[in-house]
Amino acid sequence: MKNIAVIGAGTMGNGIAHVFAQNNYNVNLIDISQEALEKGLATITKNLDRLLVKEKITDEIKIQTLNNINTFTSIALGVKNVDLVVEAATENVDLKLKIFKQLDDAAPDKAILASNTSSISITEIAAVTKRPDKIIGMHFMNPVPIMKLVEIIRGFNTSDEVTKTIMKLSENLKKVPVEVNDYPGFVANRILMPMLNEAIETLYNGVAGVYEIDTVMKLGMAHPMGPLQLADFIGLDVCLSILNVMYDGFKNPKYAPCPLLVNMVKAGKLGVKTGEGFYDYSESKKAEKVAKR
């Protein structure tokens, strides 16, 4: 297994492509937008430069990593001769099902098709293909080049051989794979998202402010980042989508998203990526911080 395709050049996709390429895999990075591909490559380059400054890689590794990546705006061309596809598109079930139908038609019969989904059923995804035994979840954590964990999600029909292959592959990427079964939210988000949602409920109910809630969790529970800041980092739209998947899957009110979260997403306040969420990340705010130093 040497030739890898990654679908999506966004935050997760470019991170996954980076990790594979740095570990000497040939990577086809695929996105419908040439602009997105260029932005993804720029992010990979910037992250490699950071590693270079920290002396964690050499100039040679940086150059080789970038040389290992080719870009495509066509799924059919990008997956033509690959051994593995990792889909990292937006967390939307209809979009993922559409992509996997395309992948099933275009990728070689031998190819394993993996999804980086953080909550959507691998079994449901596999059902739209003719190779359900070769469909698996590879849930990387953000930021991908730094975080060690990969949740390996077995669908109902995922074969033992495919699971073992992907577990071993993840270890080759210097990651720590953990096998989990296919239930909404898997392990990471089944535990994390209700905590984030409860923090939002605590703010919504007026128990404490944003800073106070995050400070309690950082200093009292030794969390490196407060839950509201983490929600901003993940993306409030992503949090809402995952909670909705779990609520639909379990029909349990404990997974129902807080009305404040719903309204913030409707208002376009999605966190870091839009410049405002529970915190203000706008350029004016950054300039204000610089002026105070």
Average pLDDT, integer, range 93-114: 97
Determine if residue 12 is labeled as part of a ligand binding site: yes
Q: How many CA atoms lie within 13 A of 183 on its CB side?
A: 9
Question: What is the rounded distance in angstroms from the CA atom of residue 78 to the CA atom of residue 70?
Answer: 9
pLDDT band, very low/low/confident/very high, at 286 (cuts 50, 70, 90): low
Q: Are 45 and 22 in contact (CB under 8 A)?
A: no
pTM of the prediction? 0.90
**pLDDT single digits (tens) 148-193:** 999 999 999 999 999 999 999 999 999 999 999 999 999 999 999 9
Which residues are annotated as catalytic?
Answer: 118, 139, 151, 189
Q: What are phi and psi of 95, to 5 degrees?
A: -65, -45
**Which part of the chain is CATH 3.40.50.720?**
3-181
Determine if residue 241 is labeled as part of a ligand binding site: no
Under CATH, which number does the domain 189-290 receive?
Answer: 1.10.1040.10
pLDDT band, very low/low/confident/very high, at 283 (cuts 50, 70, 90): confident
Under CATH, which number does the domain 3-181 receive?
Answer: 3.40.50.720
Residues 182-217 as b/e (b if ≥16 CB within 10 A, e otherwise) read bebbbebbbebbbebbebbbbbeeeeeebeebbebb
- Which residue is listed with tokens 């105070």? 292
Determine if residue 282 is labeled as part of a ligand binding site: no
Question: What is the rounded distance in angstroms from the CA atom of residue 232 to the CA atom of residue 191?
Answer: 17
| pLDDT at residue 290 is higher than 80 | no
pLDDT at 99: 98
**Which part of the chain is CATH 1.10.1040.10?**
189-290
Average pLDDT, integer, range 77-96: 96
3-state helix, strand, coil in the chain (%, to 5): 55, 15, 30
pLDDT at 282: 87
Residue type, 245: V
